[in-house]
Structure 1
Amino acid sequence: MLDAAVAGFARHGYRSASMDDIAEAAGVSKPLVYQYLHSKEDLFTACIAREAAALSAAVHEGTREQAASADQQLWNGLCAFFAHTAAHPDGWAVLSQQARTEGEPFARAVSEMRAELVALVTRLIGRAARDAGCDEDLVDREVSGLAHALAGAAESLADWANSRTEDRPSAKETAATLMHFCWTGLESLMKGGRWTPSGR
């Protein structure tokens, strides 16, 4: 039932998705859908909760190797993120597009998942910065912002990768694109390199 609902919401959007069509796709009667999930809002909420939990679990599983270096853990987590969003494009569309545009309480559930993942990235970048001997003021001041930027870039890249009908990159290729973009700069920052506008 939830599989059919996720596909329906991803394809048609929350407002246009039909409970009749969802029930038919699930092979059940419409009254049965309402028996378990009393409204379309409840059904959409259940879809968001399931998809958010599955994505979060995939990323945490990817980063669970505690003995790995921080950049290796981040790489593993990004590979897991992009593998999951590629394997579950409808679920990702519900989270990244539908839930966020429908307001509360749907957007809040996605924000909570995102905050959890940003906290994980913050810990990894912070650990890497401290391991590199970065100034604690730098760590406290900038790591959280960098983690938010990386999370936003990952979300945008997942949308980009899933939208490609030809020459679609693999999860590892997409993760490598983001690591090339972010980690090279992070390494320079950890070594004391700072960007300044040209001509100054």
Structure 2
Amino acid sequence: MSGTSAGAPEPEGALEPEGAPAPESAPGPRRRRVPRRERERQILDVAVQVFAKRGYHGASVDEIAESAGISKPMVYLYLDSKEGLFLACLRREADRLVGAFQGAATASGASPELRLHAGLLAFFAFVSEHRDSWVVLHRQASELSEAIAAAVAEARRAVMAEVADLVRAGIAEGGPATQLTDEDADFVTHALVGAADSLTDWMARHPDQSPEGVTLRLMNMVWVGMGRVLEGEAWKPVTG
């Protein structure tokens, strides 16, 4: 993306560019110039809501600009294009989600299961509290351009890496007799992340279910099951 993204570094307190179109407003006293970082945040806040409500193709830059209280040319000045605007929304919301998982997992204690529980709880809480963000991240992005699909894949890899580290740590705690391998850890990681993705749809159909309850159910399904395997138990189909 050639335009400025929400994550690009910029000087603290930088103002809107010289020559930028003035925000649309009624005649009156001159309004203060809004710092660039604040203006971009305002644009992205509105854009996430509009993209979630109307979808990528149904959303218009005109509506986003009007809702943000600025001119359409200013949106293009900041984010370059509609795709650039969507990418900036996607990257910001993905960073928030990954950051919530990492922060919770890091602060929750020493044992892998407690860290994983905290991370999953933060994930489901994020989805529950920021539904618009999740619609942008989960439902729309993968169906769009290669650049957007690549950004989605990058965010997913970040979550997968965090989960994989915790799964491997849990396997390592099983001791030297543990028979599970790195391939098993990778398998469990994909199963766990895939289940979490799918459960966000289940949560939308069951709004009475809390993030805490969903997290506990998933931990019991995956972590308890992995624990039994670490103890040497294995299921095999009985053939007649």
TM-score scaled by length of structure 2: 0.78
The answer to whether the aligner puts 1:192 opposite 2:232 as a matched pair is yes
In the TM superposition, residue 85 of structure 1 has moved relative to its aligned partner by 1.2
Q: Is the 8 A contact 1:23 1:30 kept in 2?
A: yes
One-letter amino acid of the counterpart of residue 90, structure 1:
D
Q: Is the 8 A contact 1:134 1:191 kept in 2?
A: no
Q: Is the 8 A contact 2:179 2:230 kept in 1?
A: no
Q: Whose Rg is larger? A: 2
The answer to whether the aligner puts 1:171 opposite 2:184 as a matched pair is no
Aligned match of 1:94: 136
One-letter amino acid of the counterpart of residue 195, structure 1:
W
Aligned residues: 198
User: More relative contact order in 1 or in 2 (CA 8 Å, sep 6+)?
Assistant: 1
One-letter amino acid of the counterpart of residue 96, structure 1:
H
- 1:143-185 per-position Cα deviation (integer Å, ceiling 9, x unaligned): 0111011001111112221x23x64322111111211221121
Distance 1:24 1:135 in 2: 63
Write out the 4+ residue segments of structure 1 that deviate beyond 2 Å after TM superposition.
65-68, 134-137
Distance 2:156 2:186 in 1: 13
In the TM superposition, residue 67 of structure 1 has moved relative to its aligned partner by 4.1
SS of residue matched to 1:195: coil
Q: How does 1:27-38 map to 2 (within 5 A)?
A: 27-38=69-80
- 1:90-115 per-position Cα deviation (integer Å, ceiling 9, x unaligned): 11111111111113111111111111
| Structural RMSD (CA) | 1.7
Between 59-68 and 80-89, the greater mean CA deviation after superposition: 59-68
Where does the alignment leave 5 or more consecutive residues of structure 1 unmatched? none
In the TM superposition, residue 136 of structure 1 has moved relative to its aligned partner by 6.2
Which structure features the higher share of helix residues?
1
One-letter amino acid of the counterpart of residue 147, structure 2:
P
TM-score scaled by length of structure 1: 0.92
In the TM superposition, residue 134 of structure 1 has moved relative to its aligned partner by 5.7
Evaluate the alpha carbon distance shift between residue 76 and residue 38 of structure 1 in structure 2; reply closer, same or farther with a 3 A threshold.
same
Distance 2:181 2:150 in 1: 28
Evaluate the alpha carbon distance shift between residue 46 and residue 182 of structure 1 in structure 2; reply closer, same or farther with a 3 A threshold.
same
Distance 2:141 2:44 in 1: 15
Q: Is the 8 A contact 2:178 2:230 kept in 1?
A: no
- 1:120-150 per-position Cα deviation (integer Å, ceiling 9, x unaligned): 1111111111111265662222101110110
One-letter amino acid of the counterpart of residue 73, structure 1:
R
Where does the alignment leave 5 or more consecutive residues of structure 2 unmatched? 1-42
Distance 1:119 1:135 in 2: 25
The answer to whether the aligner puts 1:6 opposite 2:65 as a matched pair is no
Q: Percent identity?
A: 41
